[in-house]
Chains A and B, each alone.
Chain A
Amino acid sequence: MNKPRCLIVGASAAGVAVAIELRNNGYTGAVTLIDADPNLPYERPPLSKSVLGAGSRGFVPIQPAPIYRDLDIELRLGEKVTAVDPAALTVRLDGGDAVPVSRLVLATGLSPRRLRVAGADAENVLSLRDAADARRIAEELASGGPLVIIGAGFIGLELAAVARERGIDVTVVEAQARPLTHAVGADVASLLMELHRGHGVKLLTGATVAEFAGSAGRVEEVRLADGRRLPASTVVVGVGVEPRTELTVSARIEVDTFGIPVNEFGQTSRAWIYATGDVASQNHPALARRGRIEHWDTAQRHGAAVGATIAGTPTRYREAPYAWSHQYGATLQIVGRPRPDDDLVLRDGASPGEFLAFWIRDGYVGAVAGMAASREVGVVKRLMAARVPVERAQLLGRDLDLRRFLKQHQNAVRANPESTLAS
């Protein structure tokens, strides 16, 4: 009998975490990590944050190269998996190899959605998902702006921030009237909009693109549906994503409207095939309903849980979803998912550059967002996990020492473990 092999398709945050946790949990089979991207596995979050920086251009390896050798993880980079044969228990590579597998992990991620308007295929209409995209954007912006970003999501706004810091003229075109509202609610979204406008970003809301006009395969002007015309030397489109589910066809596993549905341990409809990271459609306790969680932290933690599970330690990913974003030198952090019927408490003294927002749900903190408040966010995360009862008035003032408040609760629980501490 051949040695078992766990083969992981996709060497980003989720895939690398699977491989490392397999080894950390004593998996003795072969571990093979495959990605069509030829680069040593790299972090994607820095791509939008330091794409225009000197030197690394935002290229940060997830792990130093020797880690893969030390942990006996085989990297096959620049190779693409073209099909899964569930009857033969093999995967087919674009070079023709058929590799035997006993456990398969699909960590295939997302691809950027394209705009279906005239001129969208021009050479200076770009998206930002991988290192090659980041390099193209840096090359285009080397000669300055104007930069037009379509879509005011987190990636688009981070790119807007780094471009403004370099003095580049930036316009962001957003279809919704109130961008980011679904992610952080209207009040925090307003603070973020104010932050960007304060740094000179021209933010056009309720606006859609009619066409990209130009010559010789290059866009020179973005024409909006309302007739406005925006001069552009570079366009970056960030209008959402599609799950990369191509391999589910040959694998004959289920897909849903979000991606590849998995159970609490990351298993797909075929128990020996797992899906993790952005492509996984999961039933997470923080979500109102099944869906994708498109965060680096989730990819890494869900991947780590799948790695441990395959190695023989069944592990669930249940922590609150966490996202962060760097904008103009400050860090925005969001733990949990705000819901429309939560009670928002914006701590006194909030400004676009520094704030702390709590969403109270059933007497507990359901989600938190902080700008330049990472010490506090680390504490609030624990208030959430421990389900410490809170009241609006406590959180509103700046005089509450959150760390002390958490400690008091922990000490009280230690003194009386049976009590649920309904204050």
Chain B
Amino acid sequence: MTWIRACSVDELDDGDALRLDTTPPIAVFNVEGEFLALADVCTHGQSSLADGYIEGGQVECAWHFAKFDLRTGAALTLPATAPLCTYQVRIDGSDVMVEAPDEN
């Protein structure tokens, strides 16, 4: 695993998300000041979860509205039943760092 810089803490507002073009892509979310990183691609369709709607520690997929828990990656509603992979995050000064798979 490799630590990579996702963004600065000021770049991502509460309730926003961004997508890292890693392999596989990772989405980084700001949930009430806490930064969380998960697989970006919904386990049901092919949609980017960084485009989803973030509310109450959950993200709702933009295409088919499956909901996931942002802390655990658990699939909370149909059409998804498989969980999302979660990634470690640490704050390094003003940088949000994500531990990505090695090929990155």
Q: Which residues of A contact B (CB under 8 A)?
A: 17, 20-21, 62-64, 67, 296-297, 300, 304, 322, 324, 331, 333, 374-375, 377-379, 381-382, 403, 407
Contacts and interface: CB of A to CB of B under 8 A. Distances in A.
A375 B51 contact: yes
Interface of B: 15, 47, 51-53, 60, 62-65, 78-79, 81-82
Nearest to A382: B53
A377 B78 contact: no
Contact of A324 (B51, B63, B81): B63
Given A64-B82, A304-B78, A378 B15 contact: no
21 contacts: A20-B78, A20-B81, A62-B79, A63-B81, A64-B81, A296-B64, A300-B78, A322-B65, A331-B63, A374-B47, A374-B51, A374-B62, A374-B63, A375-B51, A375-B62, A378-B52, A378-B60, A378-B62, A381-B53, A382-B53, A403-B15
B43 to A, nearest CB: 10
Contacts of B53: 378-379, 381-382
Contacts of B78: 17, 20-21, 300, 304
A374 B46 CA distance: 13
Contacts, number: 37
Nearest to A403: B15
B63 A300 contact: no
Please give me the 8 A-B residue pairs with the lowest Cβ-Cβ distance, nearest first: A374-B62, A378-B53, A375-B51, A374-B51, A378-B62, A304-B78, A17-B78, A67-B81
B81 A297 contact: no
A381 B60 CA distance: 12
Given A62-B79, A300-B78, A378-B52, 15 more contacts: A20-B78, A20-B81, A67-B81, A297-B65, A304-B78, A322-B65, A324-B63, A374-B62, A374-B63, A375-B62, A378-B53, A379-B53, A381-B53, A382-B53, A407-B15
Contacts of B63: 324, 331, 333, 374
Most A-side CB within 10 Å, residue of B64, B65, B79: B79
A63 B60 CA distance: 19
